Structure 1
């Protein structure tokens, strides 16, 4: 029998039919037992829905898949490309295959990636969400396999975590622009309801305060963390603030778009407008002019996350959660040189 949505029965549909958690269903179907009433409900729901475990699931009962997964916003973003390369290297050395899941920052896709751990197709997950909702926190607490989060977690979440203080990095960017004499420093940000958007906005304000520059809302534009959005935001900002002489962009993709917009507007970089990006991706080294950018250790964060997960799956299964931080670093290039 198929599930209510017409597809094959899954652990999720069994959990809904039985009125129990996905973790409980996973335990029962994998022969790990549970409360008698829970076992009865799960078995009845599985029979009613015609659930048949696939060959891989049967082989994993009490065994290992040899796979770990990485869920990220956009597999085409150079930040995640750098992470994937390091995660892949660590995983391969430890004997794991790496599965990739590009979520598009869709909440349901990210939650699905966490819930899918109950199927045991992967032994653990590295996830890097740009928004962390209460639903994310609930699923992280319920996860039936090890999870490592790349990004800031609130206090009290007992999970391995790799983070970087992009607020500090944003303040460094503004300080650099102020240090080369720029006084009308604009900011092109991504969505303010994201973790990086909030942190970088606060860092921009911190940097203005340290440089004794006034806060002017006219100097800030919001969009998406994409090149086309960066170009559009830069054109809007230039139209509104013709005396703009410095520009901080919340990531390198936005900065690439801004460089294009500045050329189209006849503004020279760095003579008229000095530009700083963030993430120090490969893009920063191939733009024209090359882009000053604040590195957030993307490759290193990926490597650390993979090492934490591999350790958790091995001898570190019972250790206390570790929170590891990477330090931002500004790399000066042609876009801010006199």
Structure 2
């Protein structure tokens, strides 16, 4: 393994000159070519993390995710990583397993590691989050939630749910079950339900009931079985694709045919929703694009540029086989 000292010796320059070259500092064109040639010949790879600790402007970005086994999280992280690489930044990942205390620890840990900024894939923003952000004084962007005091990249949950509600009504459904999540999650638990409720309240002849489950598929199976048994709706609108997959399983358990007996929709646009049978009608969010936007915006903040306080990502309703037309 070559060191900066080895490169400096081979190039006939001081270690500080090599360090300036690696950090984009000012050196003569002749010296720059000489150092570059030695680096290429030796295959020297700089220690990016050590460089970041020493640099006035570090090139490490910390990301905090609530869970790694999520399609949305993985897609957002891919988008962040792609954009950061284009901008010559590196990404660190901290998984919190939906533990808010671990989120707090990650924020302070990244501060101690002298990252340039933090991207938080948020499920909720508490007073503890706000206090931590105020204390560390780092650029922060949250993805998936909105807060007045923090730069946010959000999925347009309310508008998407309103449009899905209109779609459901256009298909003739009037006996409707909506299966959401805890309202501690503002985006998924509140915004999606509010958007859908706004759509169905524009029709006077709707019989709509609202239910709640967790993000886990197995919990959704149990709740959906109870909905089918006790309410027997013509359509079950689910706040996530994972919940919708649980609803599909519940329909199978109860011997209910999808979509002729029960239509089902989701939110997210996970890849698996296209290959299952029946393929799932869902609202597709462009998670990777949201990740790229978040990364680009954070680097702008870290380098002193202005960005909008709220950025909306795109969505699209994907119509597939899981929704049937009902005669009104």
Compute the TM-score of the two structures, normalised by the length of structure 2.
0.78
CA distance in 2, matches of 1:299, 1:188: 26
Alignment of 1:123 onto 2:112: no
Unaligned runs of 5+ in 2: 1-48
CA distance in 2, matches of 1:86, 1:109: 24
Compute the TM-score of the two structures, normalised by the length of structure 1.
0.75
How far off is 1:326 after superposition? 1.8
How far off is 1:213 after superposition? 4.2
How far off is 1:109 after superposition? 1.6
Alignment of 1:143 onto 2:136: yes
Match 2:254 to one of 265, 280, 304: 265
Alignment of 1:329 onto 2:320: no
How far off is 1:327 after superposition? 3.5
Q: What corresponds to 2:270 in structure 1?
A: 281
CA distance in 2, matches of 1:199, 1:322: 19
Say which SS state the counterpart of residue 71 (structure 1) adopts: strand
Deviation per CA, 1:311-333, whole angstroms, max 9, x where unpaired? 2233xx25365421124321111
Is 1:68–1:99's contact at 8 Å kept on the other side of the alignment?
yes
CA distance in 2, matches of 1:59, 1:122: 8
Deviation per CA, 1:143-181, whole angstroms, max 9, x where unpaired? 3322111133333x1x43211221222222222122111
Larger radius of gyration: 2
CA distance in 1, matches of 2:160, 2:320: 16
Match 1:211 to one of 203, 220, 225: 203
Is 1:57–1:121's contact at 8 Å kept on the other side of the alignment?
no
Q: What corresponds to 1:51 in structure 2?
A: none
Alignment of 1:221 onto 2:221: no
Q: Where has structure 1 moved over 6 Å in runs of 4 or more?
A: 56-59
Is 1:227–1:253's contact at 8 Å kept on the other side of the alignment?
yes
Is 1:252–1:283's contact at 8 Å kept on the other side of the alignment?
no
CA distance in 2, matches of 1:293, 1:167: 15
Alignment of 1:313 onto 2:313: no
Unaligned runs of 5+ in 1: 1-55
Alignment of 1:113 onto 2:106: yes
Say which SS state the counterpart of residue 322 (structure 2) adopts: helix
| Count of equivalent residues | 276
How far off is 1:247 after superposition? 0.9
Is 2:240–2:268's contact at 8 Å kept on the other side of the alignment?
yes
The CA RMSD over aligned residues, in Å, is: 2.1
CA distance in 1, matches of 2:167, 2:276: 19
Alignment of 1:199 onto 2:191: yes
